Amino acid sequence: MRIFYGSSHPKLGHAIAEYLNAKAGEMKTSKFSCGETYARVTETIRGHDCYIIQAIGQQPNDDYMELFLMMDALKRSSARSINIVLPYFGYSRQDKKSAPREPISARLIADLLQAVKLDRLITLDLHSDQIQGFFNVPVDHLTSIPLFYDYFKKKNFQNLAVVAPDTGRAKFAKKLSDKLNGELVIMHKTRPTHNVAEIVNVVGEVKGKTILLVDDMIDTAGSVTSGLNALRDLGCNEDIYLAATHAIFSGQAEERLNSSGFKEIVVTDSIPQKKNNIKNLTVLSTASLLGEVIKRNHENKSINDLIGD
């Protein structure tokens, strides 16, 4: 087995290799002055099972292009298998046609990955489960529930409500609320345009409750902050926590989160974090979760408890 990682999130790649007690594979990546990406394997990997950890971060197009070239380099170096670890599946929000003449960009990314001949995809908290069906190879769809449960159970919440910002996150919120002995609340939102969300209804009781708002990602923070205002209008406790797997933090995210009044914002390191000044931010490591699924795959062991079933 060989572990490779690109330039987008070397800290996470190193942590996963350390968890596996494995030396990182030797891969050179760089850019030409014109902006083209270059990748070359600098060791013999003939007949090896190769795992590439590539976080899709603030520059998704560059990150994907680097990944494609790394995959092609491994394929042409006679690797036995090429397994991709995408902690965050970039373009996952574009998983269907919401208007005429739109692309289904998530499907296109899946087609491109398969065109370069991946053997397995390992990913974390897809925006929608049906993206797994875009692939004709095994997809290990992990959940961050164990990470959030281990963190929040230490707080011994009383009178807790776990809130899903939309129906797409209801299944995740239900599992986490059951583990934390809380109640499930679901909000209904509409999107009049990109990166704009409006909460139109809240199903469940939040009055006087401690709130844990969960989402799969925070981009511009428009959804979570509008949801926060709706919950406050219904009389919830002032102790409001936010948990999200993928911290994109683009646009006005920093300003919105700092003025929102969340008691704590808990995210994972699935996306590399540039320097920010977000208050009360806690970042949980995904290295042990991703490292464990790589280990079990290589040893042909079950990963059922890691995918939340």
Closest CA to 296 of 140, 149, 82, 74: 140
The β-bridge relationship of strands 264-268 and 120-124 is unpaired
Is there a contact between 301 and 139 (Cβ–Cβ < 8 Å)? no
Classify residue 169 by burial, with Cβ atoms within 10 Å: 0-12, 13-18, 19+: buried
Whole-number Å distance between alpha carbons of 253 and 266: 14
The β-bridge relationship of strands 120-124 and 81-86 is parallel
Q: Is 189 among the residues known to form the active site?
A: yes
What's phi and psi for 205, nearest 5 deg?
Answer: -95, 125
Residue of 179, 189, 279, 295 with catalytic role: 189
Q: Which residues are catalytic?
A: 189
